[in-house]
Structure 1
């Protein structure tokens, strides 16, 4: 009889790696096979929710792959969802911050009336690499006068220093850190 697998094992078996995409030296983690398995996405959401023990008031999902995880997590945890989007995709007044990626720069925005001051916000994305995107999300939360409850990701790339960059906030990774 086969041994039961862990969530991390199931994810490692599903995530595809594309070397040198979108540019040389980047190991792109393709989550398409994960998202094709609704039960796997649901398990990720349950795992992240349990890790934070309900100690958050809202989920902030980061565009784009974080939207899938964040939507599921918000539903599992019965919390409202907020979206941090790339520049120019949100109407009305927005908070805006520019940040560096492992392979360039980008801008993240959040509608100004999305978060409530003092609200504890759990930020969700797929991969934590250098931490630029999640640090930008944290800056938007701070500008909204809300609080970062922590960061929930599927996997981290330890050698890029993202976890240290987000300290002292708690970072929970479903898959243990990878080199």
Structure 2
């Protein structure tokens, strides 16, 4: 399969002290790392594309390590998600190739997190933005960690590019009070509860 060609990367970090309620002394941190890569399948239909997932694995691992470190270390991460934006000469299925490399990379960096990594993907032009869904790393049903981060770049994806994205958070939403399963109640049996 073709070599992964990275044009640029972006690291986004947010510190949220309050959302109208009492300010926190330790802010909720949310971040994303984006890589703009050449889409080797742009402009044509290619029946066999799965091999590119293996080529993306090293990039996924590098991005997961960078993001976890930027948020204070893997032991602080409680939420995660992933996404991809595909340029107009590509197809949605090209973005789906990020599922395994992005998800497994975060699980490895986060010491075998159990929950499925939520994801989003779409085809869009330069400047397109995407909401990356986020859930708890060990139990998808922990409602306090249902979150998202909107990301994008003004000059990507170009028609022959893809933007691959990882997102992480350091805890629940800053003023979470919607009930449901709490992080302290996780059983860790199935990645759901």
- Give the TM-score range, shorter chain: 0.3 to 0.5
Q: Which has the larger radius of gyration?
A: 2
TM-score (norm. length: structure 1): 0.36
More helix by share: 1
TM-score (norm. length: structure 2): 0.34
